[in-house]
Amino acid sequence: MHYHYFTLEQRASLEREMRSSLMDPELGPALERLHSADYGVCEACGADIAFRRLQTDPLARRCPNCS
């Protein structure tokens, strides 16, 4: 199951987290991914990245196993 089922509140929460780190150069691409179906999906293995991990690190592109 992939994170295309994020609620609007969860997406808004993650977006606030991302915007709090305005100087991060990965912010723009991460915000674009947030609004796409592949946000929260590991780039390496295709597994879901846990919502808690994304709350801690909204720019995460890999699951803990692939990091």
Domain 1-6+15-67 is found in CATH 1.20.120.910: yes
> What confidence tens digit (pLDDT) does each residue in 5-39 have?
677 788 788 777 777 665 667 677 777 787 788 88
* Phi and psi, residue 24, nearest 5°: -70, 125
> What confidence tens digit (pLDDT) does each residue in 46-60 have?
999 988 898 888 888
How far apart, in whole angstroms, are the C-alpha atoms of residue 15 and residue 52? 14
pTM: 0.61
pLDDT number for residue 1 = 44
The Cα-based distances of 14 to 20, 35, 45, 51, 60 in angstroms read: 10, 11, 22, 9, 11
From the DSSP assignment, how many helices (H) and strands (E) are in the chain?
Answer: 3, 0
How far apart, in whole angstroms, are the C-alpha atoms of residue 44 and residue 7? 25
